[in-house]
């Protein structure tokens, strides 16, 4: 548990450091200041590390761990580059771009961008009771039934978490991760 706590703190600290633009990202042309979506990609990787999925959340014992982007993709190649070569609980991490909420049932994490705001009720309904972590860019995402939403606070990426939605899905989130979040509940 100490190792997991240290990895969580180290990973989230790295995300916060990126968010504060205290380091640069290597590129073929040199270095650049990390973008908002560089930081969010690191957060998605850390969510994969510090949320527990039941075995039933995977099609087979060797199925990869899938982080999916539903709708328009604000990450570009950043998400693929961040996740390249990573594993979660011995499973290869893969990224997928999907177009429909029903395609999300084969994912462990689904990121929905701002393009999906009007479809959010359908997304939440399609994934109700399934072990799929929903993460969104919309400010009210967690209040509308999503599990984790990103928000910018003084140019720093922060997270809101809806623990009840996570519990209903059969997932378990690290208490250390919950302590870093603003806790919200869904609005009726």
Provide the strand spans (E) within 99-153. 109-112, 133-136, 148-153
- Sequence spans of domains, the chain: 2-183
Single out the residue of 139, 178, 147, 150 nearest to residue 165, CA to CA: 147
pTM reported for the whole predicted model:
0.84
d(CA 173, CA 59): 21
Tell how many helices (H) and how many strands (E) occur in the chain: 6, 12
d(CA 48, CA 87): 9
* pLDDT average, residue stretch 80-87: 96
Residues 177, 133: contact at Cβ < 8 Å? no
d(CA 72, CA 126): 19
Residue 135 structure tokens: 């993460």
* CATH domain 2-183 topology: Rossmann fold (3.40.50)
* pLDDT average, residue stretch 50-67: 94
Provide φ and ψ at 47, rounded to 5°.
-60, -40
Residue 15 structure tokens: 């995300």
pLDDT at residue number 31: 72
d(CA 12, CA 41): 12
Assess whether pLDDT exceeds 80 at residue 21: no
Per-residue confidence at 4, pLDDT binned at 50, 70, 90? low
Residues 148, 134: contact at Cβ < 8 Å? yes
Assess whether pLDDT exceeds 70 at residue 20: no
Using CA atoms, how far residue 32 sits from 12, 24, 27, 29, 38, in Å, is: 20, 5, 7, 9, 11
Angle value at C-alpha 89, between 85 and 94, nearest 5 degrees: 40
């Amino acid at each position: 548990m100490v190792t997991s706590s240290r990895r969580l703190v180290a990973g989230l600290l790295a995300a916060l450091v990126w968010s504060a633009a205290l380091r640069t990202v290597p590129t073929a042309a040199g270095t650049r200041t990390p973008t908002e979506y560089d930081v969010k990609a690191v957060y998605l990787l850390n969510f994969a590390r510090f949320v527990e999925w039941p075995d039933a959340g995977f099609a087979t014992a060797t199925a990869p761990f899938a982080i999916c982007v539903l709708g328009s993709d604000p990450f570009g190649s950043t998400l693929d580059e961040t996740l390249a070569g990573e594993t979660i609980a011995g499973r290869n991490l893969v990224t997928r771009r999907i177009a429909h909420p029903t395609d999300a049932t084969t994912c462990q994490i689904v990121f929905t961008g701002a393009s999906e705001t009007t479809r959010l009720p359908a997304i939440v309904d399609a994934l109700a009771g399934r072990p799929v972590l929903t993460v969104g860019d919309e400010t009210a995402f967690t209040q509308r039934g999503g599990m984790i939403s990103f928000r910018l606070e003084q140019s720093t990426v922060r997270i809101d978490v809806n623990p009840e939605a996570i519990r209903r899905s059969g997932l378990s989130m690290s208490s250390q991760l919950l302590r870093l979040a603003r806790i919200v509940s869904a609005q009726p």
